[in-house]
Amino acid sequence: MNSELLLVNGWVARVVKLVFVTIFLAIFTLQAGAEPDWWGKVDPFLLAQVQTQLAASTESDAQIEFLVKLAVQADLSAAAELEEKLAKGTFVYEQLTAVAQQTQAPLLAQLKAMGVKEVRPFWITNMVWVRGEPGLVATIAQRPDVAILYANPQVALDVLPPENEAAFSITAPTNIEWNISKIGADAVWELGYTGQGVVIGGQDTGYDWDHPALKNQYRGWDGTSANHSYSWHDAIHVDNTTCLGDSPEPCDDNSHGTHTMGTMVGNDMAPTTDGWPSAAANAIGVAPGAQWIGCRNMDEGYGTPASYTECYEWFVAPYPLGGDPMTDGDPSKAPHVINNSWGCPPIEGCSATSLESVVNNVRAAGIVTVHSAGNEGVGGCGTVQNPAATYPASFTVGSTDINDFIASTSSRGPSTFDGGLKPNISAPGVSIKSAIPVSAFEYGNKSGTSMAGPHVAGLVALLISANPGLAGDVDGIEALIQGTAVPRTTSQGCGGDSPTDVPNHVYGYGRIQAYDAIIEQFPFKLYLPFPINE
C-alpha cells in the first residue's frame, strides 16, 4: 500500500473516531442529570476513566482495560462439607470452570464480533478481562448477564523503606534471627517440625529462585535441574528492565518478593547437613523444611486487580508453562497457604469489592490466605482500608517490633470493608533481615506489614507439618494461631476497644507464638521440656 493511501485511510479513521467520541460525550452529558440503569453496573472509578478518556482523546487507538463480572456465580457452599484439602480444591476448580465455560460464551462471542481481540476469561470468579475502546463499557454494561464492570488500575506496593538503615546494606550472618526466635520457631524445629510436606505460595514482585537461602526449598528444583512448570507463573505480560513478560522462570524486579519468601522458608544450609536448620549462617525463614512456589503479580511494584486475580487462579489449580487455565489446572499441586504482602489502595481506583469473591473462593478451596494489614497506621483507627486485607476471608497481619509493640505504621482496624476485626493477628515486622536478589550481597533489612505476614504463612506450614490433618481446615488453623498468640492490649480505643480487650483492632489476638501453637495440638504437651520465648 502506498504512503498516499495510508494518509487517506488514517484521516478517515480519525474522522470516524471523532464522530464516535462526540456521540458518546453527548450521551454522557445528556444523562448526567438522570443516570441510566447501566451506570449502576459500572464501578465509579471506571466510569470516571471512560468519561475522562473520551473527553481527552480523539485518537483511533485509545484503549481502556476493565473487568466484566458476570451475574451468574458458582455455588461453592458444598466445599465446606468436604474434609480433605484436595477434595475441596478439586470441587472448587470443577465448579468454577464449569460455570465460566457455560456462561461466558455469549459475552466472548459479542466481543469477538465487535473486533475486540484482547480478552482473558477468568474462572476463579466468573469474570473476563477486556482491553478495547472506551465505548465498550456502555455496550457491555447493558448486557443482562453482566453484574458489574470494574476498573483495572495500577496497585501500589505495600512496603516501607527500612527504618534508620540503608535499603540494601550488607547484613552479616547472625545464625538464627531475632524474629525467628521471638515467635519460637527455632524451638519448633527442635521438635522435628520444619514445614516438611507443606507447600507455601507467594504472589509478589517475583522471586530470585536460585538465591542460596531459597534454592533448596523451591519446588521446581530437584537438586540437579529445574523444572518451573507448576511451580512458577508470571501474571505480568510485558517486559521491563529486569524481567521479561511471561518470564519462563522466577524473576524478581523489585527485591520485595525475594525478601518475603526468605522470611517464610529461607535457610542457606543444605538440609542434609548436620545441625540443619539451626546451625545455618542465615537461618532467616520460619519454615525452612517447606517447599515454595511463586507468582509475579506486580510490575516493578505495581499490579492490577487482573494480575492479582490471575495469580490467585493459578494457585488454586496450578497449570504448566504455556498451559490453559481452564483445562490444564491441577488442584493437587496447589499450596497450603498463600502469602500476600501487597495492598490495592482506593487512590489508584481499586474498588472495595474488586477481589472479594476471588478471596472467598480461594478460601473455599482450603487454602489459607495471609494478607498484610497495610502501612497506614499513622492515620490512626480505620486504616485497614485496602483490599484484600479488608475481607473477612483474609487472615490479616499487623506488624510488631522486637519488644512486641505495634509498629507506628501498622494499619489499625476496624476494617473499612465491613467494620469487622482487623488485623486478626500480629507478627514481627520491624527491621527484618531476609534475602535480597542483589549480586554484591544477599541479605538486607526491611520493615512493614509486608514483612510481618510471611511469619504467619511460615507458621501455617509448621502447624500442618506437625499435624497434616489440618491441611484444608482454614478455620481450624486460624483459630489455633489466634488462640495461642501472646495477648497484647492497647489504649488506642479503635473500634471501641477498652484498654483490656483481646482481641483488639491494633494487635488482633496478639503476637504469634509458634511453639505454643504446635504443642496445643498434642495431649503430651506438658512433657515437652522446650522453652517458650516470649
Rounded Cα distance between 482 and 425, Å, is 7
Q: What is the DSSP string of 448-515?
A: SHHHHHHHHHHHHHHHHHH-GGGTT-HHHHHHHHHHTSB----SS-GGG--TT-SSBTTTBT-B--HH
What is the DSSP-derived secondary structure letter of residue 349?
A: T
CA distances from 428 to 257, 398, 432 (A): 17, 8, 8
Rounded Cα distance between 226 and 219, Å, is 9
CA distances from 424 to 378, 380, 413 (A): 19, 17, 9
CB distance 462 to 518 below 8 Å: yes
Assigned C-alpha cell, 234: 508470571
Q: Among all residues, which ones are annotated catalytic? A: 204, 256, 450
Q: Which residues pair with 338 in a beta bridge?
A: 201, 369
Q: What is the DSSP string of 15-52?
A: HHHHHHHHHHHHHHHHTSSS--GGGGGB-HHHHHHHHH
Q: What is the DSSP string of 253-309?
A: SSSHHHHHHHHHH---S-TTSTTTTTT-TEE--S-TTSEEEEEE--BTTEE-HHHHH
Polymer length in residues for the chain: 534
CB distance 216 to 289 below 8 Å: no
Q: Which residues pair with 291 in a beta bridge?
A: 199
Half-sphere exposure in the Cβ direction for 88 (13 Å, CA): 24
Half-sphere exposure in the Cβ direction for 451 (13 Å, CA): 31
CB distance 211 to 262 below 8 Å: yes
Rounded Cα distance between 186 and 283, Å, is 9
CB distance 400 to 426 below 8 Å: yes
What 3-state class would DSSP assign to 140? helix
CB distance 253 to 240 below 8 Å: yes
Half-sphere exposure in the Cβ direction for 492 (13 Å, CA): 24
